[in-house]
Every structure is written in structure tokens, then in C-alpha cells.
Amino acid sequence: MLTKTTAEWLDLSTQDRYSGDSAAHPESLLEDPHLVARGFFRVVEHPTEGRIREMAIPSRWSGSEFQVARPAPRLGEHSREVLREAGLTDDEIDGLIKARTTIAAI
């Protein structure tokens, strides 16, 4: 992949009758023409974090207007609820917090 540009690879894929498209870099997604036209990203005012960019609801339905019920959670905001649903007791959760364990490590 390092030997040619994206355009060169795309040209080769069409010559060989393979469908191809470029892989997007995270930075380029914000300016992707299709996503911009669909209003996929939007800037909202978060009650504690200020202005943030988030994904809009990705589908649209005739006769229905979906709305986001609440802002994105803060880091760890629902950790206790999630761990309780996973079967941990409050004492176990307190132990994890005391040990500064991250949820990703559980």
C-alpha cells in the first residue's frame, strides 16, 4: 500500500474490475462531502463540557423526528450502573474505584 497513492490504487482497482474506495482518516471524516450533506456531525452545547461535536442520529424516517434525549455522558458517569448490571456488588465496585481500576481493565 505504501508504494502508490490512493488515487493510483483506485485507478488500478477499476481497471481490474474491482470496486474500491479510499479509506478515510478520522480527520477527513469531518469534511467528507456525503457526511456533510447528510448533516452527520453537529455541534451541540453540552451542559458541563461546553460545545462538542457529535454524530447526529444516523437515520431519517418520514413522519418521525428523532431527538437526542440527553447529552453524552461524562467519563465514568454511568460506571456504577453498568457494573451493577454486570452483577458486581456495591462493595466490589467500591473496591475497584479505590484501586483506581479502569472499566477497560475489568
pLDDT in tens, 46-91: 998 999 998 888 777 888 777 778 888 888 889 899 999 999 999 9
Taking the C-alpha atoms of residue 56 and residue 40, their distance in angstroms, rounded to an integer, is 5
Residue 18 has pLDDT above 90, yes or no: no
Contact call for residues 57 and 68 (beta carbons, < 8 A): yes
Contact 51, 44 (CB under 8 A): yes
Taking the model in full, what pTM does it have?
A: 0.51
Q: Grid coordinates standing for 67?
A: 431527538
